[in-house]
Every structure is written in structure tokens, then in C-alpha cells.
Structure 1
Amino acid sequence: MDFFAQQARVRRSSRQLVVLFTLAVLAIVAAIDFVVWVAFGQHPNAYGELAGSNLPLLLVTSLGVLLGIGGASLYRIASLSGGGRSVAEGVGAVPVAANTSDPALRRLRNVIEEVAIASGVAVPDIYVMEDEPGINAFAAGYSVADAAVCVTRGCLDALSRDELQGVVAHEFSHVLNGDMRLNIRLMGLLFGILVLTIVGRQIAEGGAWSSRRRGGQLVLLGIALIVVGYIGYFFARLIQAAVSRSRESLADASAVQFTRQTAGIAGALKKIALAEAGSSLRAANRHEVAHMLFGEAGSFNALFATHPPLMERIRVLEPGFTEASLARFAAQAAAGDGDEASVPPPLHPAAATGFAGAAGAPLGVPPAIPAAGLASAPATVASATASASVPPALPGIAAGVPADLRAAVQQPTSALVLVLALACSSANELAPAERRAIANAFGDDAAVAVARQLAAIGQLDPGSRLPLVSLAFPALRQLSDGQRQTLLDALDALVLADGRVDLAEYCLTRLVRVQLQEAADPRHAPVDGKKKLVACRASLVLVCAIVAIYGQNGDEVAAKRAWLLAMQQAFPGEAVPWVVPPRAWAKPFEAALDDLDGLSPPAKELAVRALVAAVQADGEVSLVEAELLRVICASLHCPVPLG
């Protein structure tokens, strides 16, 4: 999956959607204007003049319809201000507890956590629709920070681990590609148009009790609103379905690159085709989320189908697949094909941060991009922006975190203590300055709790530190706004407690800050910027220099070589002077990241290519480089580049 190409497609879809919905709304306004003119404009006013000769009536009508549709749409969107959680609970889904004892729910949590960590995003809220036997799922929210992934009980009961992973990967592609924000807006627009029918019904019922002539006019207007509203809703649904079908095809392809296999998602689609309930939902408002789902929510006419036909989706994944192939698959499933219950050993530290080579490949070198060919093959570098991971590695990401620490991230208070402990400079004991910083923020008891946690942190593989932060995010998200800000202030104090900025401490603090600040106001999360790369040249030069210096362990000659590869990617043919990063690099680095986050998607893609070139200059991806790249990508709101 080329993340930035996907983003470009979503933007085109969004623009097309705006144009088509605008045309639909204008057509609705024109139709209602005509009805009002017929009903009221042909009757003389107090001066014996025809109202139809005056534009004010039609202008007021047009403005009223536009305000009505717009107001209803904004109301519906505002009602979903809770993001993914609001959408999930709106269809009757219930949250999956972090300490659930249900094996199926435990497996679901593991799979979602693994994919989230591998793609470099915060773990989303997890929901299940317990009363839905159909095989289905969806992702919802305004941004990654308030995302929710929801699956049906049928999905849990029917699918193997590989198949569940394929479905989850499909939903994560929607999370990463910005589809969720568009989906919520779609829900609002459709509701705004549908409200016309409700208003029309009320006007018609009121007109039936009015005087004969006036009542007849109101009844006519009410009926017209109902008819026009349903016609508008009809065409809006057609637009929604067409946009959704194209995005679902892309999400299927993305899921394959997430998991590096077609069998998982193809198997899930086959089981939908075989299941009695298919992918249908029972929820009364299932049509409202139909465009978000993994499969069709019910039996729709082809025009209203939000997904391509099942067999067509399967054939894209497995060319030559036929009805006979489906019958053979059914026989194999009935015989019991086994589930992948075993968990692989923990990952190498670099792999735990998102980089894992293919079987037999040097660890840390994504197989899609030969390190030696980076400078001469820029087209291949685009694949580095894919949010993918080798499937056997995914379970190992979570398996690398000890059970006691996994338990600690399940509750807000213990998760807060854990994150504070991770930010401390020593695994042996709290330094006096660190103890004061924690006590000033959360009290002496918190300082004692952090000190107790240090021993467990000391046994933690360094490569599991940032994945552990991602696992803690759902609990941290439950903190109040005041507690979140206090935590961020305490982390800043801990980083500076020893008088220097350690890279590992900085990466952890920056990652927490990006995730928590966005979670505080997900509706205003950063969207596509407009800056060109040349406008942010100084920022990219500095960021690449810092990555190169740390990636090459301070070897300035090797760092310059890595940095030069990055500059060749970003500014081919230009002579860019080398910049020595300042000793106090943290604040300039943060300012540079904020500047780069304002890049347009094509420019941001070039920036990520440049960073990948610097990281892979020596043919290896160290833990330092992997963590830096993870934090940079989180700051730039794009997925971790995985081969």
C-alpha cells in the first residue's frame, strides 16, 4: 500500500463527493422552490400582486432549505463528537475490556494491538457487537487518536486468527487513509437530507388540520418535501455507495500488504459467502454505517451496494477462483483447517518498532527496498511508506512485553505510573530531581509507585518501550484533560531532570505528547497541509541530519553520507549544505517536525523517502533509527515505513 497515493485517492473521492452532494442539494433546493412557487406563488397578495413575481419568496425558501440541511448535518456530526466510540455505541456495540477472560475477545485485542504497534499508531478503542451473528467489522472516528475498531460476534466465532488479522488490517487501512473522517461527514450529510422527509411529514400532518385552502397548500408542500427528500436521499445513497465501493477495493489491497498474504482476508470473504447470515447486521440503524463496514450490511440492489460483489473481491485476491473453488473451501473448513493459536517468540528490538525483514533477510532491512539501490531507484522507495508487516512477526510484537507490564497498561492510574517510569533515566532508582518532578505533579504516593515499577522496566527489552506506550494509550485516553496536561508537564520535567536530553526519553515523551494532544480534540486533528517541500527545506535538512548523526552513532563521515542520500531523495540535483545539529537539539527538532507536518501529502511523501534513505544508508535499521522514524512519522501523521 502506497500510503500517500491512497491519501491522494481519498482526497479525490472527497472532492468528488463534495461536488456531487452540492449538486444533489442544489437540485433539492430547486425542486422545493418550484413546489413552493406552485403552492404559494400563484396567489395574489394583499395588494393583488402575484407572489411569484417576487424573488424574496424563493430566496427565503432556498435559504431555509440550505440552512435546514446544513443545520441537521452539523447536528448529526456534532452528535458523533465522541468519535469512533460514539459510532460504535450507536449500533449497540460494547467495549472489550482490557482484562477480558473471553478467549475470542482476548485474541481480538491481541490482533488489534499487534497491527497498531506495527503500523506505528496508537491502539484504538475496541468494540464488539455481541448480538450480530454476521461476519462484519468497521473502523470509525475523526482521527487515529479517537479511532474505534468494532467487530461482530460472528466475526470472532467464524474466523481463524489469520482471517481475523486480515479483517483488522482492512479496517486499519481505513484508519490510516483518513476514510473515517469522511465517513462521519457522510453520515451527517445523509441525515441532513433525510430530515427533509421528517419536516415534510410534520407539515403535511399540520396542514390537514388547517383551513381548507391554506391546509391544502401545506399538505402539498409537506408531500413534496417528503418526495423530494426521499429522492434526494436516494441519489445521495447512490453517491455514497459509489465512493464506498472504490475505497473498499483499495482497503482489500492494503490489507494484503499489511499482512503479506492473501489467504487471511480472502478466507474471511469466503466464509462470508458461505455463512447463513453472511455479513448482514440486525441493528436498526445499520444503513447509517453501511459504508464503513467490511462487508455488506444487508441485501442491497447493486446500485446501493457499498462494496464490490464478494466473488469479485475474492477473485482480485485469488485470480481464477470459482464457485467450485468455494465448494472445496467449504469442505476444507468443515473438516477443520486449524487455527494459528501458537504465538511466535518475541521480536528483535528493531522489529518490535516496526521493521522486520522477510524470512532469511537481514533484520532491519525491509525486503521491498534494497539498501544499496536506494539512491538510484526512487520509485521503489514509495513502497517504504506502506503500513505493512510480516505476518509471523505481528504476534511477537505484543509477546515481547512481559505479562505484568501488559497488565499495568490496562488501567489509567497504573498506565500513568508506567509511562512515568519509562521516562526515568535509571532503571535502578529515582534520581532526587526525578522524584521531585513526579511528587510535584502527582504526589508522593505516585513517586513511590514509579520507584517500585523501575525494577520491571529494567528487565524490559529496549525495543519494547515504545510498543508499551502504544498499548498504554487506550488507558491514558481515559485521563481527564487536566491529568493529561499534568502528565505531559511531568514528562518534560523528567527528561530535563539530569540536565541533558536523552534520545530514548525524548522519543517516548514526544510520542505520548502527539497522541494525547490529538486525543484531546480529535475533530481538529491536523489534516492535509499545503506547504511545498522547498518551503520547509531547512526543517528537513535539520531532521535528516539529526537522524543521520544518531543513526551512525556520532560518526560524522558516515552521518554525512547518510544525510547526502536523504538530500538526493528530497532535492535531486541540488547542492544542499551540510548542517551540524546544535547540541541543544530537542527544541529545534520539535519546531522542525511541526513545520514538516504542514507539508502537502506529495511533499510529505518526499520527506519520508528522504528519511528512509538516511536510515537505510548502511543497510541496517538500528533500534535508535527505528524509534526516531516511528516518532517522526507519528508527528507527521503518517504510518511507519515498513518494507
Structure 2
Amino acid sequence: MNFFARQDLARRRSRRLVVLFVLAVLAIVVAVDVLFLLFFGGMGTASDPGATAGGMVLATLLTLGIIGAGSLFRMASLRQGGSAVALQLGGTPVPEDTHDFHYRRLRNVVEEVAIASGVPVPEIFVLEHEAGINAFAAGYAPSDAAIAVTRGALDKLNRDELQGVIAHEFSHVLNGDMRLNIRLMGVLFGILVLAVVGRKILLYGRGGRSKDGLPLLVAALVLMVVGYIGLFFGRLIKAGVSRQREYLADASAVQFTRQTTGLSGALKKIAGLPSGSKLESGDTEEISHMLFGDGVGFSSMFATHPPLVARIQALEPSFKATAVADLAARWQMHPPSGLDEDLALGLASASPALPGDQSELLIAPPAVVAQVGAPRSDDYVRAGALVDALPDVLRQAAHEREESVPLLLGLLMAEAGPMREAQQFELAARHDERLARQALDYADRLQELPRILHLPLAAMAMPALRRRPRPELEKFMDSCFALSHADGRISLFEYCLGRLLRVQVRDALDPSRAWVPGHRQLSRCAPQAITLLAVLAQAGHADTASAMRAYLAGLQRVFPRLDAPYRPPADPQRAMDEVWPVLDEVDLIGKELLLEGLVAAISHDGRMSVAEAELLRVVCASLHCPLPPMLEQVR
């Protein structure tokens, strides 16, 4: 199942969630009406059918109003995305410049997995007061995602095991599960709020023992009963939506890390240690469907996760359930320490050689498309090599709040000359001379940086950038636009990178409205797709004849029956500005076909330069189809 199929599955699950929610609300309304008849029908209103019917209508409307208001309130509280969820659970942000070993190891793993996945580095949190081994990913889209792990996971898991857990959570990011999870929190709160309202009325209405206060107390009791009916349905919905996704996430994590020992080792420690994956927070039930392991301890009927032994056996078929007792006995004598295991095992990632800017890749379009949103093979190791190859001064700048803006703006600046001078003037006009000089200094440093490191550096800077005030982020987006459109003489890569940064910041500013899979058919967007094919074909070839052949190779993949001559636009940047919004709303099947055509256009001779590969990655990310840092080559 590739990226597009998984995204489509997540969208179908969202529709299923709506259906289940409607059914649960109907069941609650019926329960309210039945209880209304039982209580108030026996209090003298049964002889007046009109009063009874009116009371039932009022009870129904009141119930729907409470559920709707509760859901809207909870969704509004989650508009800030993943970081809001982590902070509400008491998460501690991991500083970018931390010297704590456990924090640094966690940040390194998350950065490597994010770069390998082709998405911005998420914000990172630690639940310091939780001894169980657990984690979750939250947010509406990769641009506003947050990863949180417990202190128990940091202390007890070695690097391979931590990597397996983080890769599992990133599969939820890439599969579209996060948006579903955060919506589930909102709609279920509306169902559960009835019990909260009833409990509050009973708590503050104890003095109402008079005959006049009896109806209020009865109504509160009704809300309590109905609320627990809602709790029953809420747990069923979470179990139905979540359980199978955990098997898929486990499988994706293994495919990504290329080994099962890390993930299975983490699951074995959950099974064998007394603290397991249980969380002590009072809000655990609300996020139980988002966790790596069962944080509540539901019965099998309401369990949001498959049994631990079943998950381990899916990774290691020879594992026996009886082995859990042996593990528990061993760890009771010698509690596991992730740091000690790292030292004993000598865990360190290899550093393969990186391709130079003039290198050529042998690729096949279907193989590249299969990599979208599906990091695998050696992508994790490659990502570690990319991070290690970054100069310390640039890596440190990417982690610092005050340096992230000039660093990213420096990535967008043209080579030394009149064009760069015009860009510097634009920056000074929008910010100040100091920031313009900083951006220029970074631009000079970045001239020597291999092209393949530009996008990983931008991904690493996103957490620090997102923490700046909203007015500054809006000014940053305006500056990106200005630098990317300075007289139209910058490279297509720099233009696309500027557009990508604007999209990621925009998504982070308004997470609840971040990108969702579109519904447009590709055939209805043919003019925009043809324009994009022509621009990429022209950018990758020095002569018109080669560009035309490349364009036709891509067109044959996307629209085999369409006769559309090669006419590259006179102003590629303006043409691209017009196609992005339309093509980003193409449905998943169409987008998969379009990307295959784009790859065919860039590599019509079966070869692709590193510069072309990076341009393709930026284009794909702009269309919310992230590619890993290095393309899989034909062997």
C-alpha cells in the first residue's frame, strides 16, 4: 500500500468516523427521550400528550446542543495543532541547543526520521512524569506536527528501539492518521461532555432537596446515565478506528528502519516491565487512540491497540507468549537502561557517501513514486549522513530561534551579483539592515553547501521558526515571496523552495485548515498539469529539442491520448503561481499519476542530476507529497 492508497484509506476512515458519530448521537438522543418518558411521564405529564411531546423535543434539542457545543469547543481548543495536545498533557519542549544526552539522542533520531521522510522536523516534547514507555504524534498536517515521548521511553529504550517507536509515530504522520486522531478527540468530547454536565449539576445542586429542585436533580441524573452511554459508544468508536492502524504503523516502521529488533524490543519492554505503557495523566483516555501503546488498560472490547504479544509475533513469528514472564523476571533483577545498552551495542549509524552536485542518478518513475510518503531501505541511514554532513555553524543556526529566519532567507538568495543586491534591498525594506546582513552572510556560507543538503537544513529549522510570533511569520512569508519573485531571474529551485517554505509556515499558522486530500479529477486540471510538465522539462534541458522530448515523455504518462504541443510559458514563475492551488487539490489517484509524469519528464533518458532530483523533491513537497532525501536508483 503506497502513500496515496494510505491517504485514501485515512479519508475513508474519516467518513466512517462521521457515520459512527452520527449513530452514537442518535443512540444518545433515543436514550434521553426514553429516560424523559420514564421520569417525567410518571410525574403527571403523561395525561398531557402535547406537554410530553414538547418536553421530548426540548430534551432532544438540548442534548444535540450540548453535544455540538462540546465538540466545537474542543476542536477550537485544538486549532493550534499538535503542540497544543502535547502541552495539555504536560509535555516539556525539548530545547534545540540541549546538552542533555537523552534529549539530544531523541532530537537526533526525530530529525533523521523527519529528513528521511521528506517532511519538516516536528516539535518535540517529553512527558517527564510518565514512567511508562509510550509516545504519540499529534497535529493536522506534517507542518504543525508534534512528537511526544515519555520519560520512561527515553530512559529504558536503546537507540534502535527509540528509532522504531519514532518511525512508528511518523507513519501516522505520513498516513494521514494524525488529522483523524485530532478530529476524533473533538467529536468524542461532545459525546462525553453530557456526563461532565450531569456530574457538575449534581455536585453543585446537592442543596436543592426541595420539591422544586427535584426535576433539576433528575435531569442531572439523566445526563449522567446518558453520558456513560456516550462513554460506551466513544470507546467503541476509538477501538474500531484505531486498532488496525497500529498493525499498519508497525509494518511501516519496519519497512522504514529495515529491521524488526528495534520496534519489537520496545514492545517487549512494554510487555515485561511493571510500568508497561500505562500513563498516569487524567487526560489519558482522551488521547488513548493516539498512543504507541495502550495507555489506559481497556478490556479487549474497547482496546484501541492489538494485544502486545500479537504485535510482537507479527514482527517475530517465533516469539512465544511464555517468553514475557522470562523477560519480566530478568528486568526485575536488572532494569533496562537505554544508555547502557547503546554503549554495549555500539549503536551508531553508518555514513554513506553523499552524491555530488554533478552526479547522475539512474531512476525509474514508478520506483520514485513508490517512495512518496514511504521512506524505506537505507533512507534513515542516508538522513543521518545528511545531518552529519551539515557544518556545525549551520546546524546550530537551524536550531536557534533568532537565527532560523535569516538562515532560511539566505537559502533563497541568488548567487552574488545584481540579483542578490536587489534581494538584499527587499529584505532591508521589510525587516532591517541587520537581518539583511545576516541573510547575506548565510547566503555566502551556503554557496559551498551541496544542493542535497539545502532541504534537510530547511526541515531542521522549522521547529525554531514556528515558535516566532505570528506577525513575524507573516512577514517571513512576505519576504519569501519577494525573494522568489525578484525580477524572475532566480533559479526554479530557489523559487520552488520559497513557495514550499510559505506553504509550510501557512499550514503551521492555521493547522486546522491545513492541507487535506483534494477532490479534483486530474483530467479537469489538464492545462495546469501540462504547464507544470513544460516548466520542468524546460528547466532540466539546455536545448529545445531535448526539452520537447522530455515533455512528451511526461505527457505520454499522464495524458496518453491528449495532443498538447510543447509550449513553455514565457514567465515560468507566474505560470507556476497559477498552477499550484489547482494541482494541490487533485485527488490522490490523479496526483500519483501526475508525479509519475513529472519524474518521466525530468528523467526521460533514465538519468537525473542531483539538482533535478532536488527540484523534484521541492515540487513534490509543495504538492504535499513528500519524498525521502535520496531517490531509489535502478540496480
TM-score computed with the length of structure 1 as normaliser: 0.89
Q: Does 1:340 align with 2:338?
A: no
| Gap change, CA 1:432 and 1:210, over 3 Å in 2 | closer
Match of 2:311 in 1: 313
What is the alpha-carbon distance in structure 1 between the residues aligned to residue 474 and residue 620 of structure 2?
22
Choose from 476, 488, 502 the match for 1:513: 502
Match of 1:31 in 2: 31
Match of 1:354 in 2: none
Q: Secondary structure at the match of 1:149?
A: strand
What is the alpha-carbon distance in structure 1 between the residues aligned to residue 526 and residue 436 of structure 2?
43
Match of 1:254 in 2: 252
Choose from 565, 572, 577 the match for 2:564: 577
Match of 2:17 in 1: 17
Match of 1:538 in 2: 527
Kindly report which structure 2 residues correspond to 1:524-603, keeping only aligned pairs within 5 A, or say none: 524-551=513-540, 553-572=541-560, 574-603=561-590
Match of 1:122 in 2: 120
Q: Does 1:438 align with 2:427?
A: yes
Q: How many residues get paired?
A: 619
| Gap change, CA 1:329 and 1:212, over 3 Å in 2 | closer
What is the alpha-carbon distance in structure 2 between the residues aligned to residue 155 and residue 555 of structure 1?
56
Match of 1:155 in 2: 153
Cα displacement (A) at 1:511? 1.6
Q: Deviations over 1:3-34 (max 9, x none)?
A: 11111221222112211121111111111112
What is the alpha-carbon distance in structure 2 between the residues aligned to residue 350 and residue 57 of structure 1?
75
| Gap change, CA 1:363 and 1:311, over 3 Å in 2 | farther
Q: Mean alpha-carbon deviation: is it higher for 272-281 or for 307-316?
A: 272-281
Q: Is the 8 A contact 1:248 1:307 kept in 2?
A: yes
Q: Is the 8 A contact 2:451 2:611 kept in 1?
A: no
Cα displacement (A) at 1:233? 0.7
| Gap change, CA 1:611 and 1:166, over 3 Å in 2 | farther
What is the alpha-carbon distance in structure 2 between the residues aligned to residue 634 and residue 78 of structure 1?
28
Q: Is the 8 A contact 2:520 2:587 kept in 1?
A: yes
Cα displacement (A) at 1:224? 2.2
Q: Deviations over 1:587-614 (max 9, x none)?
A: 2112212111111222222222322333
Match of 1:359 in 2: none
Match of 1:626 in 2: 613
Match of 1:190 in 2: 188
Q: Secondary structure at the match of 1:409?
A: helix
Q: Deviations over 1:19-58 (max 9, x none)?
A: 112111111111111222333345557xx96155653222
Q: Is the 8 A contact 2:602 2:612 kept in 1?
A: yes
Q: Secondary structure at the match of 1:187?
A: helix
Kindly report which structure 2 residues correspond to 1:64-463, keeping only aligned pairs within 5 A, or say none: 64-204=62-202, 209-210=207-208, 213-323=211-321, 338-342=345-349, 344=351, 347-348=354-355, 364-365=361-362, 371=364, 383-389=370-376, 390=378, 391-426=380-415, 431-463=420-452
| Gap change, CA 1:205 and 1:443, over 3 Å in 2 | closer
Cα displacement (A) at 1:301? 0.8
Q: Mean alpha-carbon deviation: is it higher for 396-405 or for 458-467?
A: 458-467
Match of 2:466 in 1: 477
| Gap change, CA 1:225 and 1:54, over 3 Å in 2 | closer
Cα displacement (A) at 1:75? 0.9
Choose from 592, 602, 608 the match for 2:595: 608
Q: Deviations over 1:492-519 (max 9, x none)?
A: 3334446513123212211211111111
Q: Mean alpha-carbon deviation: is it higher for 186-195 or for 103-112?
A: 186-195
Aligned amino acid, residue 489 of structure 2: R
Q: Secondary structure at the match of 1:621?
A: strand
What is the alpha-carbon distance in structure 1 between the residues aligned to residue 317 and residue 356 of structure 2?
37
| Gap change, CA 1:228 and 1:282, over 3 Å in 2 | same
Match of 1:501 in 2: 490
TM-score computed with the length of structure 2 as normaliser: 0.90
Q: Mean alpha-carbon deviation: is it higher for 53-62 or for 471-480?
A: 53-62
Q: Is the 8 A contact 2:272 2:327 kept in 1?
A: no
Q: Is the 8 A contact 1:400 1:461 kept in 2?
A: no
Q: Mean alpha-carbon deviation: is it higher for 261-270 or for 505-514?
A: 261-270
RMSD (Å) for aligned C-alpha atoms:
2.8
Q: Is the 8 A contact 1:128 1:151 kept in 2?
A: yes
Q: Is the 8 A contact 2:414 2:490 kept in 1?
A: no
What is the alpha-carbon distance in structure 2 between the residues aligned to residue 565 and residue 156 of structure 1?
50
Q: Mean alpha-carbon deviation: is it higher for 388-397 or for 122-131?
A: 388-397
Aligned amino acid, residue 441 of structure 1: R
What is the alpha-carbon distance in structure 2 between the residues aligned to residue 381 and residue 492 of structure 1?
29
Choose from 622, 625, 630 the match for 1:638: 625
Q: Does 1:467 align with 2:456?
A: yes
Cα displacement (A) at 1:383? 2.4
| Gap change, CA 1:206 and 1:497, over 3 Å in 2 | closer
Aligned amino acid, residue 476 of structure 1: L
What is the alpha-carbon distance in structure 2 between the residues aligned to residue 607 and residue 428 of structure 1?
36
Choose from 48, 51, 72 the match for 1:50: 48
